[in-house]
A and B are shown apart, each in its own frame.
Chain A
Amino acid sequence: MIADQLIAAAITMTTPILLAAMGGLVNRQAGIVNIGLEGKMLVGAFTAVVVSSITDGWLPAVLCAALAGSLVGLLFSLVITRANANMIVAGLGLNVLIAGVLGFVLNWYFDASGTLRLPDVTLLPHVLPSTVSSIPVVGRTLENLEPLTIFAWLSVAALPFLLANTRLGLWIRVSGNAPQVARAMGLPGKNVQDFSTAFAGFFAGLGGAHLALASIGLFNEGLTAGRGFIALAAFYFGRDKPVATAMVCLLFGFLDATQIRMQTAGLPPKLIGTIPYLLVLIALCIVGWRASRKESPS
């Protein structure tokens, strides 16, 4: 019974991180480290709640969230690729700016401080009939399964192929890993980078939509709670490989889900919450240590 709940919670917690990480991974393959994922998730969550309330449907809400995310991503990308802004500072600035804009709109238009509750917010539907809940261990997970989780895992399955075997996938990788080759081949490197950032925004927007519409159906300024950075940690840890990154996301989702239970077991949740970040540090150290050993074999 506990395993049942834990798995279901872990899968749900994984989805937003996974979506953002898949977007960020493609973006990084194209040579842009996207520090602004957090902000784009927030935009997605906000858009999803507002559109869901207006249209009374989850699909337009999710689509609008993704579009809003990619629009922000595109603008962000233009600042980096066309105006040569430093991507780290611009990304941090973007997060501050988005938090400001959303807070402003929330306060001024919706007259709400921090939390936005709207009537008739349609949540993401469960795709499988509720009878599946009788299946042992994974029953609850299957029952909770919604379209975005399925989409997220489908993208994990598809991305390795798309990145390795399609023209666009190769363009993305070449413009990130060997910009001079891309230039020599006459590829529109900057356009490809812009596309990848918009793509990252699309996925981050979806991740935000999942956060808002999976179960709570409202928007809060602190809704993302650093998940954009966890996603960043995930694809750094997974070294930009979709499947490895997805496994890391699963681990982080699992940690997230166990946090509350750890607390009852007497372990401090705040310290447990730092594990993803520590893991990334350790992973980066190992990678760096290996590289430095290879450089000077002695």
Chain B
Amino acid sequence: MADTTLPANALMPLLDKSFRLAFPFLVALAVGAAILLIIGENPFDVYALMAQESFGSLRRSSATLSAATPLLFTSVATAICFRTGVFNVGVEGAFVLGGISAAFVGFTLPVYFGSAIIPLAFAFAALVGAAWLYIPGLLLARYKVDEVVSTLMLNFVAFGISGYLVNGPLLSRESGNNVTPLVHEIAQLPRLLPPSTLHAGFIVGLLVVAAYALWVKRTPSGFESALVGFSQRFARAVGISIPATIILVMVLSGLVAGLGGGSHALGQLHRFADGFSPGFGFTGMAVALLARNSPLGIIFGSILFGALASSGTTVQLFSDIPLDLVNIIEGTVMIFAVVELGRITLFRRSVRS
């Protein structure tokens, strides 16, 4: 086609790209604004209040980062699989099992292990998470068992197992219902800015994102898995083993999700409790989708959703706007992140021949 109207300056494609990246979130904000208008609130005021509540002071910012911490892990875990074309929705389950595993190590190992308990707990959490997602990985690679259904089902199994453990064998004797004992003080992750709950898990999360970026950009397996996601036929033709790649990304995803659960257990709650994860796995999915699996985008997205979560609570307290607004925004982001943006771009470019 001859009518390719190339953008006049170099800034336009960049603008266009960032618009397309931000599009799902903009739609979600618009939906949220419409709802706020219906109930007679000024959306700009509410959003301004939310922004102030999430970043207005050091204390508020650290609360936001604290809320973003588990999302760093779950979104990386999701992105690892999504970029390979594996629809793993089982991050939530691996996160929960990682949490209970880390908590178990944290209160079971004798105190004289000292701070060595922390890496041990993390290692066990990662191991359990990896083993957990190895199951659907193997089933998909060997028997072509649909990974969406298997991971979805495994989530419920994970909830059942952890719910059983926390109400049975691992139930705390002192604290009543649905919680395990607290992990030893030496096994708790240090707080970074003491009054807030921001803990060293955030650093671990950033390291995980960095490792993910390295894997994506600098390792053969990271490149191969992207090829598999791009086209399985092409990948097979150039000699990449599809089953091995599927199992690898599933195990990596479980490992990261398990670490995330461990960080949440050791750093945030200091134990495992019923309702350990209010859907971090699914919010992580929204983040990964919004970020289009890019490492930098994952950090931004996690902080964004962390901000929503941490400011939502205070907004509910001060202005009578239900916290559920956050869920509405999250759900809208998920839906519109997968809507094909075919014709929705700022600058029309007819590249298609």
Interface residues of A (CB under 8 A from B): 33, 35, 79, 83-86, 88-90, 92-104, 106-108, 226, 229, 232-233, 236, 268, 270-271, 273-274, 277-278, 280-281, 284-285, 287-289, 291-292
Asked, given contacts A104-B324, A107-B322, whether A88 binds B148 with beta carbons under 8 Å apart, the answer is yes
Whether B160 pairs with A96 at a CB distance below 8 angstroms is no
Asked, given contacts A85-B340, A274-B160, whether A93 binds B322 with beta carbons under 8 Å apart, the answer is no
Whether B143 pairs with A285 at a CB distance below 8 angstroms is yes
14 contacts between A and B (CB under 8 A): A84-B342, A85-B340, A88-B89, A89-B338, A95-B331, A97-B327, A98-B331, A108-B320, A229-B152, A233-B149, A268-B167, A271-B161, A280-B149, A291-B143
Interface segment among B195-203, B229-237, B279-287: the answer is: B279-287
Of the candidates B160, B286, B328, B337, the one whose C-beta lies within 8 Å of that of A100 is: B328
Whether A284 pairs with B139 at a CB distance below 8 angstroms is yes
B347 at the interface (CB under 8 A from A): no
Q: Which residue of A lies closest to B326 (CB)?
A: A100
Whether A97 pairs with B335 at a CB distance below 8 angstroms is yes
Q: Which residue of B lies closest to A90 (CB)?
A: B335
A218 to B322, CA, bound (A): 21
Whether A274 pairs with B331 at a CB distance below 8 angstroms is no
Asked, given contacts A85-B340, A93-B332, whether A277 binds B285 with beta carbons under 8 Å apart, the answer is no
Residues of chain B contacted by A89 (CB below 8 angstroms) = 285, 289, 334-335, 337-338
Residues of chain A contacted by B47 (CB below 8 angstroms) = none
Chain B: interface secondary structure? Answer: helix
| B289 vs chain A, min Cβ distance (A) | 6
Whether B324 pairs with A100 at a CB distance below 8 angstroms is yes
Residues of chain B contacted by A104 (CB below 8 angstroms) = 35, 322, 324-325, 327-328
Whether A232 pairs with B327 at a CB distance below 8 angstroms is no
Interface residues of B (CB under 8 A from A): 35, 39, 87, 89, 139, 142-146, 148-150, 152-154, 156-157, 159-161, 163-164, 167-168, 279, 282, 285-286, 289, 320-335, 337-340, 342
Q: Which residue of A lies closest to B330 (CB)?
A: A96
| A111 vs chain B, min Cβ distance (A) | 10
| B301 vs chain A, min Cβ distance (A) | 15
A258 to B331, CA, bound (A): 35
Whether A96 pairs with B327 at a CB distance below 8 angstroms is yes
Whether A97 pairs with B143 at a CB distance below 8 angstroms is no
Residues of chain A contacted by B150 (CB below 8 angstroms) = 281, 284
A100 to B31, CA, bound (A): 12
Residues of chain A contacted by B149 (CB below 8 angstroms) = 33, 232-233, 236, 280, 284
Residues of chain B contacted by A107 (CB below 8 angstroms) = 322-324
Q: Which residue of B lies closest to A288 (CB)?
A: B143
Q: Which residue of A lies closest to B157 (CB)?
A: A274
Of the candidates A85, A99, A268, A277, the one whose C-beta lies within 8 Å of that of B338 is: A85
| B251 vs chain A, min Cβ distance (A) | 18
